[in-house]
Each structure stands twice: as C-alpha cells, then as structure tokens.
Amino acid sequence: MKKQVSIIILIVMISMSTIGSFGATVFSDIDSVPWAKDFINKMADKSIIKGSMDDKTLKIVYRPSANVSYNEAIQMIYNFLKATNRLKSTTGLVAKYQASLTVNNIPTWAQEAVAYALEDKIITSGDLGSFMKGDNQNPARRVDVAMFVGKALNMEDELSMIPILDFKDAETIIKSAMPYVELLANKKIISGDLDKKFNPNNPITRAEMAVVCSKTYDLLMATTNNTTPTIPTTPTTPAPATNYETKLRVIDFINSDATMMVVKDDKGNTEVYSMDVTILVKKGNSFLRARDLRIGDTVKLSLDNKDKLVSIEIDNSSADFTGILQSIKDYDNYHLIVVKDKLDPMIKKEFKIDDDTDIRLDGKSVSTSKLYEGDSITVKSMGLRATKVTIESSEMTYEGILEENKYHTIKVRTNNNQVIELEVSDRVYVRRDGSRSDIIDLMTGDIVTVTVEYNEVTDIRAIARSVESEDEGTIKAIIIGSPSKITIVSKDDNEEYTYEISSNVDVKIGRDYAKIYDLRPGYTVELEIENKVVMEIDAEKVEEKNTISAEITRVYSDINRLKVEYIDSTTRERVIRFVEVSDDTRIISSDATSIRLSQLGSGDEVFIEGYYVDDLFVAKRIIQLD
C-alpha cells in the first residue's frame, strides 16, 4: 500500500514539473543565492524560467549554480520577449530554418525560440555552431549572452561607436560584443565581480541568467508603458538635458581662433566641428576654454540629436602597454599597429603612430621602417594615439621549468613564477643534457633556457631533472590527445590521480605489448612515472561483471526498463545504470515466485544477472531480495 501511495505522489509531482511557473516559494534550492532569490521567483511567476524535479528528493529545484546552455539562454530571451509583448510573427519560422536547426542538432524544445532568434537577427547561423557538441549542449559564455540580450532589446540607436567599458578585463571582450556589453552595463542589467571584472569567457549560471532576464523584463515593461525606466544610467558631466551621443576622438587640427576643429576616429576617418563660446570644455575637475585644446588631445565629444557639438571632455591620461607587435598597416598620414599582450595573446590593443610619435631603438630615434611584426615593444599612449614606442630586442630569453610540452607550443614557469605559453618554430634547435634532441624528447620538469625570436621559440637548451615514481590502481579515464592523459583510482589511498602520458610510452596488457588506445576503464595498471609523465604502463584486464546488486530507483513499465543505483566495488563510487527487461527476462520475487515488472517498485533491493550492450545492461534474471 505504501508503495502505491508513493507512486501516486510521484506521478502528481512529476506532472507539476511540466508547469511553466512554480510560484514564488516552490524552488527548494535557491537559499544558497540570496542575491538572486527574488529575481528567480519573479521570473518563475512570469513563466520566463522553469525548474525541474529532483528524482532523489522529489522536490522542485532551480539549480542556480548550474551553467545555462546556449539553447536555454535563447529560450529565456524568447520568453521575456513574449512576456513583454515584444514578439513579432513566429509563423512558419521553424520550417524556414529547419535545415540549419537539424544540421546543428538543435533540440526540438528549443527550435521555435532559436528560429525566432535567427529571424530577428538576435543570433546568426554562424552562432549555431557553438550551441551543441554532438548531443550535448554547450554552456553559454557571458559575453555571448550579453550580445544576444543586447540585440533582443532592439536599442541600436543607443549603441556607442566607440564603447568605453570600466571592467578591468575589458580588453578581453571581443570587439563585436563591446557595444552591447556597454549598453547592458549602462542599463544596470549586467555588472562585474568584486574585482571589477566582467569575465566574458566564463559560463553564465542559471542564477545570473535569472537576474539578467528580470532586469531586462523591467526595462522592456517600462519602455512599453512609455515611462522612464527606474534603472539608473551613469550620467555624464555636465548632466545633459537630453540624450546626447558621445564619441571618443583625437584632435587633428584646430584653427587659430579655436572656432573650428578637425578630429579623427580610430579608423582614421576625419570629422569637422564648429565651436562657439557656449561650448563647454572640461579636463578633470577643471573647466577650460576652446583655445586650451591642443592637437593630439584625446577628447570625448557630446553631440545633440542634430549632431551639434555641445561639450568636450579632455582625457589625456597616459598609459603604457608592453607586448608583441602583431601587425602594422600604413595609411595616408599614420600607421595603425596591433599589439598583443606577452602573457595573454587574447588581450590586444590598437594604436595610431603619426609623425609626432617618438620611436626609439637602443635609445636612438628611428622611423616606422624599423618596426617589424614580432617585435617586443612598449607603447606609451594618450587614448588611441601612440606618443612613444620603444622597440626591445627581437630576441628574448626565458629561463625556468618546462610545465607542458605540446610540441607546437610549450609552457614555461619562469623564475618570477609566471607561466608563459610560447609558440615553437618548425625549425627549433633543441639540446637536452648536451646532446642534440627533438622537441618531442623534452619532459615536464626539465630545466630549460628558451630563446624566442619574433614571438617564436627558435632555441631550447634543456637539463633533465629526473624524478622517478610509481603508482598503481584502476583506470578511471583515458584521454587520447596531445598530450594523452590517464586518470586512475590509486590503490594506496583510493583517490583519483591524473598523469600525462609520454608519446613514447611502453604499454603491456598481460604479457602482450599494446598501444595506449587498447587500454580500457576498469583495467588494473602499474605506472612507471618520470617527472610526472607516465613512461611505462603494465595493465591487466578485469573481466566485466555480469551481475549487479542494486537498489531500484525507478520503474519504467511502459518501456520495460529499470533505473538502479549501486556502489562500484572498485572505484567506490555510486553508479546509476539502466537495465533492459526483455520478454526472456525472468523476474523472481523474494518468496521465489515469478512476478511481472510492474510488481517491482522504487526502493526494492534486487540481484540482476545479464550482459552489457554498450552502457545498457540487459537482464536475464532479476531476483527481488528481502
């Protein structure tokens, strides 16, 4: 009787999980995110987000710390557009984009939202390639979600041509996303962490997504009602009476009476503005006159809706940036250079070099003809304009410990404890312990002196620092790659350890020599390790068990399947497995009588004999235990 009641309760609660809104107090797991709790409840009430049923606790959960997939993010955006009456026609869109949806493996439940996003230019067909990896959904990056939400707002007139972001890691944000990130930051829809970083490439969590959806919903509702949104924006100085457009420019010319000014943008395009006595010029906390402006000043221009210049703010704060010269392009009266950070190639900056830029090599003034791609340079700048460029030697040397060897790139931990990643030249010269070697011979832990020319490693001198060790246990996972890796559950302490595998590893299974791809999870192994790299593997096959002692957690009578849980005796981990019940399966009750599948229930302890078909266990006999 108790089992029947439990099944009825379970059916009722499962049916609840299909409801779009769970009410404000239903989620059982959001106390861990008090900062997002009200936003989550509000969005659930608006049917913009949904929760799910926890099979173990039988409670409705939101999973606030879980990552949001790209499909889920688009579905939530679609939901808040629908809730604010912003959706346009959706008729026939799935059929229109069916080919792209199918090729990119978009799940059926998300196809309507994804098709709408394609139609409304919220996403592109190229974006779809990032949504799935096989049958698995990829987590959405914060920067991509910001761009999708920014496009969904349809506020193109508020996007800045030259976005200015206060995040410390603004340089890591892709250029195409910057205007949308700035828009959402100004609308207080997104913010940085405690270190004032946006972390653009981190996955966005379900709690964070609920906050974004809630604030966007409020903004759209306020706009729909023709009221001023309560979300504050950052005022400029002086506070404008209307919405002024702002542009960041560099002054290229001013006439003698300061009534006309020519400026350039970051692409070298020129603009001309008239100035009169009403023009307000500010520098820091001081107010100046137009005649105080100078050629080369970086200025923020405020323009009214008729493109009339209203105010000018001077920002000549000088900054230094050291990196590798990636490219240099010659324009009519200036050069545009792109410099990437030495330690993080993802960080790049553009600078303009003109006739007034001071270029130095070995303390001497030189022309731009002495700048070469791959040079290590330090740029002193005011805004976009480079005021001074110092060229370092094209050859650099690093000393330290080899942290990783991928052959085409290496990682070295330098003497100041920084790990740098370097590209390796196809013609690299390598010596190890005084003998000519190949890049493949270098081992993690080697002491190295690395010479870099034009941003490529051309010479490596290594000293082997051999530290040998052993480990044995059971294979948990094997990754074939560059480098390959093996994870074992150690026999000594039952903990997991992951080791890099040498490309020259010797593998034996039993008495036979084998390859790394012949190994399987569950095999017992003895590892010979040098400098944290596995050099030898002696393995023994473990016959796969054809019996399971487990607890039934769910019975699927309509598809003849069981869901069971048990503790693996080798790894000591909890295993969840599905068991197929065929017409030939014999089911025996605890009193030794034959019974049907429907007579088994959640919580029953069972002993199952059978065989594996991939990850599915097909039962020959199921015995219900007391």
pLDDT over threshold 90, residue 421: no
* Per-residue pLDDT reduced to its tens digit, 86-98: 888 888 888 888 8
DSSP element (H, E) containing 7 = helix 2-16
Residue 62 backbone phi and psi in degrees, to 5: -105, -25
Domain shared by 526 and 568, yes or no: no
**Prior bond to 163 cis, omega within 30?**
no
Do 57 and 198 lie in one domain? The reply is no
pLDDT at 238: 40
Domain for residue 418, yes or no?
Answer: yes
Q: How many domains does the chain have?
A: 7
Neighbours of 446 (CB within 10 A): 23
pLDDT at 185 over 60: yes
Q: Verify that 153 and 208 share a domain, yes or no.
A: yes
Residue 510: inside a domain: yes
Residue ranges making up the domain that contains 488: 468-540
Same-domain check for residues 132 and 178 = yes
> Does residue 236 lie within any of the structural domains?
no
Residues 119 and 186 in one domain: yes
Q: Indicate whether 182 and 307 sit together in one domain.
A: no
pLDDT at 307: 80
Domain edge (last residue) among 271, 299, 314: 314
Q: What is the structure's pLDDT at 508?
A: 93
Q: Are strands 335-341 and 318-330 parallel, antiparallel or unpaired?
A: antiparallel
| Residue-level pLDDT at 205 | 94
**Closest CA relative to residue 209, chosen from 50, 82, 101:** 50
Query: Would you state the pLDDT for residue 318?
Result: 56
Could you report the per-residue pLDDT of 57-84, keeping only the tens digit for each? 778 889 999 999 999 999 999 999 999 9
Measure the CA–CA gap between 382 and 356, rounded to whole angstroms. Answer: 13
- Per the DSSP assignment, residues forming a β-bridge with 147 are none
Helices 178-186 and 142-153 pack at an angle, to 10 degrees, of 70
Q: With respect to residue 346, please indicate whether it lies within any of the assigned structural domains.
A: yes
pLDDT of residue 10: 40
d(CA 584, CA 569): 28
Model confidence over 492-512: pLDDT tens digits?
A: 888 888 888 988 899 999 888
**Residue 124 clears pLDDT 50, i.e. is over it:** yes
Position 4 in a domain = no
Residue 590 has pLDDT above 50, yes or no: yes
Residue 176 DSSP symbol:
G
Q: Does residue 399 share a domain with residue 387? A: no
Q: Average the pLDDT over each of 177-181, 329-333, 371-375, 563-567 and give the range with the smallest value.
A: 371-375
Whether 273 is in a domain gets the answer: yes
Please say which residue of 410, 430, 463 terminates a domain: 463
Residue 235 falls inside a structural domain: no
Least confident of 137-146, 381-390, 516-525: 381-390
Supply the pLDDT for residue 18. 38
Q: Is 211 exposed, middle or buried (0-12, 13-18, 19+ CB in 10 A)?
A: buried
- DSSP state for residue 229 in the 8-state scheme: -
Q: Same structural domain for residues 86 and 170?
A: yes
- For residues 456 and 424, is the Cβ–Cβ distance under 8 A? yes
Confidence of residue 21 (pLDDT cuts 50, 70, 90): very low
In a domain, 307, yes or no: yes
CATH of residue 478's domain is 2.40.50.320
What is the pLDDT confidence band of residue 227, given thresholds at 50, 70 and 90?
A: very low
Last residue of a domain, one of 314, 335, 355: 314
Q: Which of 459, 463, 467, 466 is nearest to 433 (CA)?
A: 463
One domain, residues 495 and 518: yes
Residue with tokens 């923020």: 300
The pLDDT score that the predictor gives to residue 69 is: 94
CATH of the domain at 303: 2.40.50.140
pLDDT at residue 232 is higher than 50: no
- Indicate if the pLDDT at residue 17 is higher than 60: no
Neighbours of 31 (CB within 10 A): 9
Give mean pLDDT, residues 484-489. Answer: 90
Together in a domain, 127 and 206: yes
95 and 173 share one domain: yes
The answer to whether residue 212 scores a pLDDT higher than 90 is yes
What would the two tokens of residue 358 be? 């001071």
Distance of alpha carbon 24 from alpha carbon 17, whole angstroms: 15
Q: Supply the pLDDT for residue 1.
A: 42
- The reported pLDDT for the residue numbered 12 is 36
Quick check: 202 pLDDT over 70?
yes
The residue that leads in pLDDT, 573 or 512, is 512
Same domain, yes or no: 208 and 96:
yes
Nearest by Cα to 261 from 227, 303, 205, 222? 303
Residue with tokens 């404890």: 417
498 close to 485: Cβ distance less than 8 angstroms: yes
Q: Spell out a b/e string for 314-341, using b for 16 or more CB atoms within 10 Å of the CB, else e.
A: bebeeeebebbbbebeeeeebbbbbbbb
DSSP string, 398-425: EEEEEEEE-SSEEEEEETTS-EEEEEEE
Buried/exposed code over 112-136 (b: 16+ C-beta within 10 A; e: otherwise): bbbbbbbbbebbeeebbeebbeeee
522 in helix, strand or coil? coil
pLDDT at residue number 3: 42
pTM strictly above 0.75: no
